[in-house]
Copies of this chain bind each other. A is one copy, B any other.
Amino acid sequence: MKIYNTQSRKKEEFVPIKEGEVSIYCCGPTVYNYFHIGNARPFIVFDTLRRYLEYKGMKVTFVQNFTDIDDKMIRRANEEGITVKELADRFIKEYYHDADALGVERATVNPKATEHIPEIIALIEKLIDKGLAYTCDNGDVYYNTQKFVGYGKLSGQNLEDLESGARVDVDPNKRHPMDFAVWKAQKPGEPAWESPWGMGRPGWHIECSCMSMKYLGETFDIHCGGKDLVFPHHENEIAQSEGATGKPFVHYWMHNGFINVDNEKMSKSAGNFFTVRDISQKYDLEAVRMFMLSAHYRSPINFADVLIEQAKASLERLYTAKDNYEFLLKNAKAEKAGEADAAVIEAAKEAETAFEAAMDDDLNTADALGAIFEFVRKENSLVGENTSKEALQYVLEKLEKLTHVLGLLRRKEEKEDDEVNALLELRAKARAEKNWAESDRLRDQIQALGYVIKDTKQGQQLTRAM
């Protein structure tokens, strides 16, 4: 498999540190609010990376943090009149609710910053000992960027360039404008922890260095997140971790592209900001996942209602195809695959090959989805009442295996199907008896379940409503 490494700016063959195992750290949410679709993209994309590596037989350790203490957390908790801990607990619960609905598998560990204060303090002490961090009179501790050779290597910048671009009103405590806080002294009313430098709290960047190394080791395979995190967050993580250990921190850096709305980057200030919770009022979040995976993860994508609508419609097509294969399987006459089934099986094999080729090429989920649609298109014209159970099982297994990697086709419809079928039967009876009032009432009931009925000479035709 090839992965585009942000640091080398090229696609590289992926070779894990330990054969058959992969360690991944993905930057998680600051839990001060529902997460927005911009946040959702890395969750979905890198969950798909994990699923694909597992599909390839690897054991994946996937760590994703919760930032449960920072300026935004404190401000929001104050606004709500609750503690920072209460705020974090609430939005961690909400995170799981939305992430589950998006089909994002639970991480191996979801460490929280506030539960790692001793480890964070130990890491900062190590940096101070090595001259890579310095304390200030007010109790802040800063990272000393000038002492870390190679600062800027991830984002392809150097300290001089960065200095000339820095804002003028630089903190007078800093020795260099690019220096950043690893420990922040307590301000009135803020939550704080004891430390060698007085009461305070960790800076944002240090928690990711600390927790990734704790759970994955000083050098691990893949660190991922949104493109906006390349600088300064991930640059600073490298400075902290490699500064402290003297070892390479991460082998492969992966970053997803932005989500735009009407050609502009989605942001609160532009007022074009959508939370996943907002969207879930209108769309099944599986359609949002389909939308996200319809583009290569490094491409910018434009968000528009119509695109979620399209993703949803195409998802229903996959469900319809799957339903049809299951129906045929239940009613198939032949057990064993015969000569006539060769093309059916061949199309499934071809789909698998095309799917893997796309995913191996830097996780090209757009082309992988293309392979699945091509698969279904071919099978729809090949399978029929004469297809054997064995061949249909083969097709269904492949379809389920490939869509599972993408986290799609997760809906279980048996219950609903039974209900709709029972109503359809009642309605057919009512119509046979010319009981139009009852027939209308049943139509309404069926439509309320999300279906459209068409009455034809051949009976009731049912399609899913949009």
Q: CB within 8 Å of B: which residues of A?
A: 260, 262-263, 290, 294-296, 298-302, 304-307, 309-314, 316-317, 320-321, 323-324, 327, 331, 364, 366-367, 369-370, 373-374, 376-377, 380-381, 384-386, 421, 424-425, 428, 436, 439-440, 443-444, 447-448, 452, 454-463, 465-466
Tell whether, in the assembled complex, residue A317 and residue B466 are in contact, meaning their CB atoms are under 8 Å apart: yes
Distance from A303 Cβ to chain B, minimum over Cβ atoms (Å): 9
Q: What's the Cα separation between A465 and B323 when bound, in Å? A: 12
How many copies of this chain sit in the oligomeric assembly? 2
**Which DSSP category, helix, strand, loop or mixed, fits chain A's interface?**
helix
Instruction: Tell me whether A306 and B460 are in contact (CB under 8 A).
Output: no
Q: In the complex, which residues of chain B have a beta carbon less than 8 angstroms from the beta carbon of A381? A: 447-448, 465
Contact B454 A324 (CB under 8 A): yes
Contact between chains at A305 and B466 (CB < 8 Å): no
Can you list 20 A-B pairs, Cβ within 8 angstroms, ordered by A? A263-B299, A294-B310, A295-B302, A295-B304, A302-B366, A304-B366, A305-B366, A305-B374, A306-B373, A307-B366, A310-B311, A310-B313, A313-B317, A323-B454, A324-B454, A327-B455, A380-B447, A384-B444, A424-B456, A458-B460
Sorted nearest first, the 10 A-B pairs with minimum C-beta distance are A459-B459, A305-B370, A313-B313, A310-B310, A313-B314, A306-B369, A310-B314, A304-B366, A380-B465, A309-B373
Which residue of the partner chain B has the closest CB to A298? B263
CB-based nearest B residue for A386? B440
Q: Which of A386, A460, A465 has the most CB of B within 10 A?
A: A465
Q: Which residue of B lies closest to A370 (CB)?
A: B305
**Is there an interface contact between A367 and B304, defined as CB atoms closer than 8 Å?**
yes
A63 to B309, CA, bound (A): 35
Query: How many angstroms between the C-alpha atoms of A424 and B454 in the bound complex?
Result: 14
Among B260, B366, B460, B461, contact of A299 (Cβ-Cβ < 8 Å):
B260
Question: What's the Cα separation between A51 and B258 when bound, in Å?
Answer: 33
